Amino acid sequence: MTIATDQNRALIEAGTDAVPLDPAELRKARSAQIERIGRWVLPVVILVLSVILWDRICVWNEIPHYIVPRPGLVLDALIQDWPILSQALLNTLRITFGALMIATFGGLALAILFTQSKWIEISFFPFAVILQVTPIVAIAPLIFIYVDSVEAGLLICAWIVAFFPVLSNTTLGLNSADHNLRNLFQMYGATRWQTLRYLRLPAAMPYFLGGLRIAGGLSLIGAIVAEFVAGSAGSGSGLANQILEAGYRLNIPRMFAALILISVTGILIFLTMNLVSHLLLRKWHESALKQES
């Protein structure tokens, strides 16, 4: 038995490089190439220009360095205070990733639990929503009263902020497995575990990764906010503490340096999550596929 029509269609699409392109297609190809380069070059140029503008504004207006430091001064602070700042960065990272881990596995486990029974979901989902909509700055002081260890308090705060997107996205994903596929699993007598393992979890993957992408940024925000609330009561070790402390001493360049470190960390977390998501989905999911034609 042959499969002429279908197979040929696929083959034809694969090899048509012999025919030269017409001008319109050439133009299209060229503009695509320009766009590829511009996508990287443009943001970098804008960034550099704004740093130069920042520097010029400071000079032209004779703004004193204890109000707005020039970029060079911030860089100096970043280098000179690196021993202190790097230690603070490590501490903040530890809280961020600790919270992200707990949020990821906790959110995933709760989502699986929720989808096992509608009643569990109906009963407990409101609690998740309450935790999510109550601002963390409002809850944090209480947490630091009840929890002795500052580190545990920080983790709890960051976790509360980060777990909801994982939970809600994964719950949605687990429930969105194709209806016919579910029937198929049922027809072949699949156990609950098999359905979860082979159908619901893979179907939830894109949703879960979407939640993770949000949770990555939120766990950093949660960690920083919690550090602010813990303030001087804490061991004074994270980047937020550095900002507070430098603020008390009017060491504005160090405040900027710490701020930059926080931003860069956030960006790196975002890029890492994007990469992980791309690697896991590139073979099959629409979001990770290059548009053809």
Partner 1 sequence: MTVTAFETGPGASASGPAIVSLNRISKTFSNGTVALKEMSLDIREGEFLTLLGPSGCGKSTVLRIITSLTGPTTGRIDWPLESASQEEHELSFVFQEPTLMPWATVFGNVWLPLRLKGISKKAAHDRVMEALEMVGLEAFSDSYPRELSGGMKMRVSIARALVTKPKVLLMDEPFAALDEITRFKLNNDLLQLWETFGWTVVFVTHSVFESVYLSNRIVVMAARPGRVVNDMPVDAPYPRGEEFRTSGVYADYCRTVSQALHAAMDANDHL
Query: Which 155-184 residues touch partner 1, going by CB under 8 A?
Result: 178, 180-181, 183-184
Per the CB < 8 A criterion, the answer to whether 217 and 269 are in contact is yes
Query: Which 7-26 residues touch partner 1, going by CB under 8 A?
Result: 7, 9-10
Q: Which of 248, 283, 291, 293 binds partner 1 (CB under 8 A)?
A: 283
Q: Count CB-CB contacts under 10 A for residue 208.
A: 26
Q: Which of 33, 234, 285, 290 binds partner 1 (CB under 8 A)?
A: 285
- State which residue, 61 or 180, has the beta carbon closest to partner 1: 180
- State which residue, 109 or 289, has the beta carbon closest to partner 1: 289
- State which residue, 207 or 256, has the beta carbon closest to partner 1: 207
Residues near partner 1 (CB under 8 A), total:
30
Residue 8: DSSP 8-state? H
Q: Count CB-CB contacts under 10 A for residue 272.
A: 12
- State which residue, 61 or 191, has the beta carbon closest to partner 1: 191
Return the range that interacts with partner 1 (CB under 8 A); candidates 135-143, 214-222, 243-251, 278-286.
278-286
Q: Of all residues in the chain, what percent are helix, strand and coil, respectively (each to 5)? A: 80, 0, 20
50/48 Cα distance (integer angstroms): 5
Q: Which of 1, 18, 32, 138 binds partner 1 (CB under 8 A)?
A: 1
Length, in residues, of the chain:
293
Give the burial string for 162-185 (b: 16+ CB within 10 Å, else e).
bbbbbbbbbbbbbbebeeeeeeeb
Per the CB < 8 A criterion, the answer to whether 264 and 88 are in contact is no
- State which residue, 7 or 80, has the beta carbon closest to partner 1: 7
For partner 1, what does the binding mask look like between residues 185 and 204, x meaning CB under 8 A?
xxxxxx---x---xx--xx-
89/222 Cα distance (integer angstroms): 15
Say whether residue 287 binds partner 1 (CB under 8 A): no
Count of alpha carbons within 13 angstroms of residue 249, beta-carbon side? 9
Q: How many angstroms separate the Cα of 165 from the Cα of each of 17, 48, 207?
A: 46, 34, 10
Quote the least distance from Cβ 15 to partner 1, whole Å: 15
Quote the least distance from Cβ 184 to partner 1, whole Å: 6
Residues at the interface with partner 1 (CB under 8 A): 1-7, 9-10, 178, 180-181, 183-190, 194, 198-199, 202-203, 205, 283-285, 289
